[in-house]
Chain A
Amino acid sequence: MISQIFILSSKGDHLIYKDFRGEESKDSINVFYEMVTALSGDQPPVVMSHKGLHFIHARQGGLYWVASTKTNPSPFTIIEFLNRLAALTKDYCGSLSEKSVRMNFALIYELLDEMVDFGYIQTTSTDILKNFIQTEAVSSKPFSLFDLSNVGLFGAETQQSKVAPSVAASRPIMSSRGEQGGKNEIFVDVIERLSVVIGSKGVLMKADIHGEIKIKCFLPSCSEMRIGLNEELSIGKSQLKGYSSAVRVDECRFHQAVKLDEFDTFRILKVCPSQGEQTVMQYQLCDELPCAPPFQLFPSVEKDYVNRSVNLSMVLIFLKLRCDLPPKSTALNVSITVPVPKGSTSMSQELSSPDQTAELQPKNKALLWEIPRFPGGAQLSALFKVDVPGLSSASLLEVGPVSMSFELPKQTCTGLQIRFLRLSPTQTGLSQRWVRYVTHSDSYTIRI
């Protein structure tokens, strides 16, 4: 059972504090904060104990979500509950940040009051909770140029406004007023996290994809929804692969509310989405990518002496990066981190276009190369000259492995697609349905 729940900002400000059992005083917040900030990086911070009181915490949205307990409960339960609390807060407040929690603290207290009683979890389902939550969310809308760019000349619809607005999904689910409140929207997102290791000769050594289909529903009441996936989707390793471009995943798991009676034959998921965000399906694919990995790197690292007599030496790092996506798609926010030898002092670079940036980060012994947009099929190259006094030939071994992070909008690496999205019975034309795809790099490492 849970004794207390509190939410702290990263600076340790008390945002929310609720004591369920009166076993411990409020000082435990400070005890927790002192303990968590005193830890060094290699100590696991997830569970900490102080005089028989255990703190379990999760970091979400830059905040500490902490539960304390005097018993010995299941860590999985508490951590998943804290994550669920954070997700519900995000649903109800629109976004997850210190500001939104501060502004909506009354709402969060109300949520907690219904979710936990005397330290026992009562319910976390949005369907049940929405009957009890009365407070209106206060949403903080940051001023954004993006909103302006949506409005075309003389109010004409621009191309961009037809694209699902990324900010729309971050509004509170319960707002009944306001210009957006009337919109009956439903978002279905296919999100994949890609983790890849590419060996030194360009060989794919490891490729894992963790994917999920998320629904964010703003419909006040929703009847059954049918989500059609690729008909040729095959599940499991044992199935024979034909020559067709079958989409394959190793295994998948579904939300317990999903009805699967049409899944085996037609690959249709049937679900009655409740308001807010929920993951209807999670899937995994290990070791085998259906397409080439999105990026290939061709590095060359050389040693160069500027002046042999004063031992001024530098490392020349030449990187050629190719994006193997289809030509119409683009990778965004690509950043490449290359470890450099210890003692690197300065760097000069030759980049192929002015919107790219590169900098040396001596603290991390690494150089960071950033490319805001990278079109599919393109190839970019860059030359870095890193000054390293007293370079030995062994120092070159310190260059690498290169790690990359990026985002691939409108792309899934497994090829999983949503064929259709039907609400049945068809509602009176009010609902807007959006399907979005995105692939994130969880960890993308290329050895040199």
Chain B
Amino acid sequence: MPYFGSEETVKELKRALSNPNVQADRLRYKNYITKVIRYMTQGLDVSALFMDMVKASAKVDIVQKKLVYLYMCTYASDKPDLALLAINTFRKDCADPNPMVRGLALRNMCNFRMPGMTEYIEQPIVAGLRDKASYVRRVAVLGCAKMHSLQPNTEIDGIIVNELYALLRDPDPVVVVNCLRALEEILKDEGGVVINKPIAHHLLNRMKDLDSWAQSEVLTFLLRYHPRSDDELFDVLSLLHAFLQSAHAHVAVATLRLFLHLASAHPAVQADALLCTSAPLLATCGAASRELRFTGLCHVQQVMRSQPGLFGTHYKCFFCGYSEPTYIKFRKMEILVELVNDENVALVLEELRSYCTDVSPELAQAAIAAIGRIARTYSEKCLDILTGLLALKQDHITSAVIQTFRDLVWFCPQSTAAVCQTVEACVDSPQDSETLLWLLGEHGEQISSAPYVMEGYIDGLKTELSSAVKMELLTTAVKTFLCRPAETQDMLGRLLHYCIEEESDVCVRDRALLYYRLLQRGVEETRKVVTGPKSDPSMSVLTGRQEEPISQWASTFNTLGLLSGRDLCLQTAVISAADQPSNSTGKELLPDVTLSSPNDTEEEISLSLGPPLSHETFEKMWLDLEILHRQTLGSPRPRTAPDTLQAALQLVKIQTLAFTPGDTVLWKAYIYTRSTGTLILAELLQGDPQAPGSDESLVVSVKQQPVNQHAIRGFASILKSVLQTLNVDSS
């Protein structure tokens, strides 16, 4: 392999290429050229051979020409002076009688990415635009775009633009589409190619002549066109209706996107288009290519956000094949959970049940969680299955089931009794201790064996390593004591004693002391502090299915963002805020702070804390999102201690992630909060030379997911009033 001794290889090739005997033998010569390209692909620097390759380009053999052109395009930017030597050959070829040679030369000449190339290519391009062979015209049209990209800052050449607009009427369909593409690039600064009524209708009439790639591209360009009247709109839609069921999925989906966009005021038309496209979409979900299958599934999922019923009868298409990769199985399960209805619930559950014993623990856990989600609606059947799974006595299954139980009692309290009964049966297998303890603590009065299980934990306390488990145990013991004092008093005493006297972990000791002092104040006081709501059915509104308007997702439909998981990852961050019943009930006692902004009494907004975000998540989201709002707050940063600032913000339910210490000139703070289903991230900045007026006043930049302008305004006013209050205090 050529990775080693590359210099030797290059020298050897150079010798061979300049050998007149080799040059005379057509086949041997070509062989050496092929070798050069092979090394180039593998990553070897063969730019030293440029001179010899230029010579080789003068040969008539067209295959050899193509190879040499590939070489030259790769290295032209490194050797601009030598590349100029090749220009003559190119220009000669541009006048060749064979259109293939003309096109080839023009295309490759335009591919030279080096400064000063424009003067050489301009004349051949202009000639190429008027060539009688469509092949050359295609190349020349894109050549205009290439020429523009070589000198992006120069003035737009009006003559060429006009010529390109004229070529939109070219008989060759590829020339037409290339014109659109070239104009789009050249006119990027002016908002891209203009699609007016004549152009739009011309394109619509040419749709049938285009190949599928061009079709989907033209459909994307048409997104920019707004029909003037409803009559025209329906004319356009009826012209395109046939493409909704194109055999090419990409055309069908591009058409659907255009339909959703154009018919945004006609929900019935949108629904009809979705129905028409459901067949091609389903077909992609069963395509032989995994990647296509995955793409299809992602889009089905998106459509279901607005029309959960659309695929209900086709639920069997989303059963997992056993050889499918895990990421496809995950998607299919997510879809199955969404499309459950009274008719198919039994079969879907049976199918999910069979995944619970899968070899892959991740898949098994996901399947169990999926059953848990279905249990919020069909609790009885699901509880039977989950209870049955406990009998398997496998660690990963049991812990997943217990976690599912925890979420279930939180979201639908009516299942509490059944869950408690089941938990009673499985308490002897402590895999996921924290979750189990939480269940015991919250519902101790319904689980008769709760004190005895806890006793087991307390006896084994010395060997317990995890401090999180110890903290949870303390909470559980106190809660159980409140409802069953007689059985628990003794062991609570032992637990507190151990934790205060012998425990080395400060957090655990502090928690124990806290509870100890709390208990000293009396049982009623303790009850007020420790017990919170046991469940919150209203939360399931956030996580459960709710039909979104189509406009919410239509803009990302058929784009990469949908697949890369970027959007999804943000969504889960927001949703998991509601998903995780917070273990420390203290926070729930605080009522949500409601502030009304001074200038507009109608604007009321409530913020809430939710579970903390990790630094990584925050950073990722901050980088991914756009700044939605920037505002000067009109007050400098408070000269208070950092703790005070943090506490003050916490009071109005704004969480502080990080801030620069002390008196740094460029002072920054990152904060976040949640409000009615959206997550607000913000940066406070003082002293940034780029932001005007930030010397004496703080500038706040807000990002949000999902967007809710109302919430941002509310957030800004709350933030403003807090900072003003702090400044008054400190001065």
Enumerate chain A interface residues (CB-CB to B < 8 A): 1, 13-19, 21-22, 26, 41-49, 54, 56-60, 69, 72-77, 79-83, 105-106, 109-110, 113, 117-118, 120-125, 131-132, 134-135, 193, 195, 197, 199, 205-206, 208, 210, 251, 253-256, 282, 284, 286-287, 337, 339, 342, 364-366, 392, 394-395, 397-398, 400-401, 403, 405, 442-443, 445, 447
Whether A105 contacts B357 in the complex (CB less than 8 A), given A118-B142, A205-B347, A397-B391, comes out as no
Question: CB distance A122 to B138 under 8 Å?
Answer: yes
Asked whether B34 lies within 8 Å of A445 as measured between CB atoms, the reply is no
User: Quick check: B41 and A47 within 8 Å, CB to CB?
Assistant: no
Contacts of A447 in B (CB 8 A): 354
* Beta-carbon contact of A74 and B354 below 8 Å: no
* Residues on the B chain within 8 Å of A49, using CB: 564, 566
Given A16-B41, A76-B558, A123-B211, A364 contacting B113 (CB threshold 8 A) = no
User: Are A282 and B247 closer than 8 Å at their CB atoms?
Assistant: yes
Partner pick for A44 among B283, B294, B360, CB 8 A cutoff: B294
Given A76-B295, A113-B66, A443-B323, A46–B357 Cβ distance below 8 Å? no
CB A13 to nearest CB in B, in angstroms, measures 8
Assuming the contacts A134-B62, A195-B321, asked whether A80 and B174 have C-beta atoms less than 8 A apart, the reply is no
Near A by CB (< 8 A), chain B positions 271-291 give: 279-280, 283-284, 286, 288-291
**Given A59-B291, A118-B145, also A284-B558 (CB < 8 A):** no
Tell me, in angstroms, the Cα distance from A83 to B533 when the chains sit together.
Answer: 54
Are the CB atoms of B139 and A256 closer together than 8 Å? Answer: no
Chain B contacts for A445, CB-based, 8 A:
322, 354
Q: CA A21 – CA B142 in complex, angstroms?
A: 12
Say whether B325 faces chain A, with CB atoms less than 8 Å apart. yes
| A79 close to B292 (CB less than 8 A) | yes
Q: Check B324 for interface membership: any CB of A closer than 8 A.
A: yes
Contact: B100 with A132, CB < 8 Å?
yes
Instruction: Give the residue name and chain of the B residue nearest to A19 (CB).
Output: B74
B66→A59 contact, CB < 8 A: no
Within 8 A of A (CB), among B42-63: 42-43, 62-63
Q: Is B146 an interface residue (CB 8 A)?
A: yes
- Nearest chain A residue, comparing its CB with the CB of B288: A193
Chain A residues contacting B288 (CB-CB under 8 Å) are 193, 210
The answer to whether residues A14 and B41 also contact, given A43-B327, A76-B249 and a CB cut-off of 8 A, is yes
A48-B564, A74-B253, A282-B283 in contact; A256/B247 too (CB < 8 A)?
A: yes
Asked whether, in the complex, the Cβ of B563 is within 8 Å of the Cβ of A47, the reply is: yes
Shortest CB-to-CB span from B277 to chain A, Å, is: 12
Does B88 sit at the interface, judged by CB under 8 A?
no
Q: Which of B216, B294, B362 contacts A77 (CB under 8 A)?
A: B216
In the assembled complex, how far is the CB of residue A267 from the closest CB belonging to chain B, in whole angstroms?
Answer: 18
Complex CA gap A82/B563 in Å reads 16
- Say whether A256 contacts B37, CB under 8 Å: no
Asked whether B174 lies within 8 Å of A122 as measured between CB atoms, the reply is: yes
Checking A81, A117, A286, A397 against B316 with a beta-carbon cut-off of 8 angstroms, the contacting residue is A286
- By beta carbon, the residue of chain A nearest B69 is A113
Closest chain B residue to A132, Cβ basis:
B100
Most buried by A among B41, B286, B319: B41
Does the CB pair A365–B560 fall under 8 Å? no
On whether the beta carbons of B319 and A206 are closer than 8 Å, the reply is yes
B560 close to A41 (CB less than 8 A) = no
A59–B293 CA distance with the chains assembled, in angstroms: 12
- Docked CA distance A160–B359 (Å): 43
Q: Using CB atoms and an 8 Å cutoff, list the residues of chain B in contact with chain A.
A: 34, 37-38, 41-43, 62-63, 66-67, 70, 74, 77, 100, 107, 113, 138-139, 142, 145-146, 149, 174, 177-178, 181, 211-213, 216-217, 220, 245-250, 253-254, 279-280, 283-284, 286, 288-292, 294-295, 314, 316-317, 319-327, 330-331, 347, 350-351, 354, 357, 359-360, 362-363, 388, 391-394, 558-566
B326 lies within 8 A of A74 (CB)? no
Cβ of A349 to closest chain B Cβ, rounded Å: 21
Among B249, B319, B561, the residue within 8 A (CB) of A72 is B561
In the complex, what residues of B have CB within 8 A of residue A210's CB?
A: 283, 286, 288
- Nearest-CB distance from A315 to chain B (Å)? 14
Given A117-B139, A397-B391: A76 in contact with B66 (beta carbons within 8 A):
no
Q: Are A14 and B42 in contact (CB under 8 A)?
A: yes
What are 21 of the A-B contact pairs (CB < 8 Å)?
A41-B360, A42-B362, A43-B565, A57-B291, A59-B290, A59-B291, A76-B284, A76-B295, A83-B291, A106-B37, A109-B66, A117-B142, A118-B145, A120-B177, A122-B178, A193-B288, A197-B351, A206-B319, A253-B283, A442-B323, A445-B354
In the complex, which residues of chain A have a beta carbon less than 8 angstroms from the beta carbon of B286? Answer: 195, 208, 210, 284
Known: A109-B37, A193-B288. A75 touches B563 (CB 8 A): yes
**Closest CB pairs A-B (n = 10):** A443-B321, A76-B250, A44-B327, A403-B322, A47-B563, A121-B213, A77-B250, A42-B326, A47-B564, A394-B391
Q: Is the CB of A45 within 8 A of B393?
A: no
Q: In the docked arrangement, what's the CA distance between A390 and B606, Å? A: 56
Known: A72-B559, A106-B37, A206-B319. 14 other contacts (CB 8 A): A13-B42, A42-B362, A46-B295, A49-B564, A49-B566, A59-B291, A72-B561, A74-B558, A197-B316, A206-B316, A251-B279, A253-B283, A398-B357, A405-B323
Q: Which of B254, B316, B563 contacts A46 (CB 8 A)?
A: B563
Nearest-neighbour CB distance to chain A for B312, whole angstroms, equals 14
From known contacts A26-B43, A364-B359, infer whether A80 and B319 are also in contact, taking CB-CB under 8 Å. no
**A284 cross-chain contacts in B, Cβ below 8 A:** 283, 286
Cβ–Cβ contact A44 & B354, under 8 A: no
In the complex, A123→B139 CA distance in Å? 12
- Beta-carbon contact of A106 and B314 below 8 Å: no
Contact of A120 among B178, B295, B354 (CB under 8 A): B178
A74 contacts B216, CB within 8 Å?
A: yes
B279 x A80 contact (CB < 8 A)? no
Taken together as a complex, chains A and B put the C-alpha atoms of A48 and B565 apart, in Å, by 9
Bound-complex Cα distance A79 to B37 (A): 27
- The listed residue (B247, B330, B362, B564) touching A54 by CB distance below 8 A is B564
The complex places the Cα of A60 from the Cα of B288 at a distance, in Å, of: 11
Residues of chain B lying within 8 A (CB to CB) of residue A199: 350
A338 to B177 Cα, complex, angstroms:
54
Answer whether A339 and B37 are a contact pair too, CB < 8 Å, given A74-B254, A397-B392.
no
Complex CA gap A440/B117 in Å reads 55
- In the complex, A49→B624 CA distance in Å? 11
* A132→B139 CA distance, assembly (Å): 14
Most chain B CB within 10 A, of A79, A134, A197, is at A79
> Please, how many angstroms separate the alpha-carbon atoms of A80 and B177 in the complex?
19
Nearest CB in chain A: distance from B553 CB, A: 15
Contacts of B246 in A (CB 8 A): 256
Compute how far the CA of A205 lies from the CA of B181 in the bound complex, rounded to whole angstroms: 50
Q: Are B316 and A287 in contact (CB under 8 A)?
A: yes
In the complex, A69→B63 CA distance in Å?
29
Which residues of A are found within 8 Å of B330, using beta-carbon distances? Answer: 42
Q: Which residue of A lies closest to B107 (CB)?
A: A117
Q: Which residues of B contact A26 (CB under 8 A)?
A: 43
A124 touches B213 (CB 8 A): yes
For the complex, what is the distance from the CA of A43 to the CA of B330, rounded to whole Å? 9
CA distance A69 to B74 in the complex (A): 19
The interface residues of chain B lying within 8 Å CB-to-CB of A17 are 41
Determine how close the nearest CB of chain B comes to the CB of A251; give it in whole angstroms.
6
Residues of A within 8 A of B181 (CB): 1, 118, 120
Flag if A397 contacts B357 (CB, 8 Å).
yes
**Minimal Cβ-Cβ distance residue in A for B252:** A76
Nearest-neighbour CB distance to chain A for B556, whole angstroms, equals 9
Q: Is the CB of A41 within 8 A of B351?
A: no
User: Which residues in A have their C-beta under 8 angstroms from that of B107?
Assistant: 113, 117
The answer to whether B66 touches A110, judged by C-beta atoms less than 8 angstroms apart, is yes
Task: Find chain A residues with CB under 8 A from B325 CB.
Answer: 41
A43–B569 CA distance with the chains assembled, in angstroms: 12
Interchain CB contact under 8 A, B220 and A74: yes
Q: Once the chains are docked, how many angstroms separate the CA of A105 from the CA of B288?
A: 26
Which residue on chain A has the smallest CB distance to residue B40?
A17
Q: Which residues of B contact A22 (CB under 8 A)?
A: 77, 113
A286 to B357 CA separation, bound complex (whole angstroms):
27
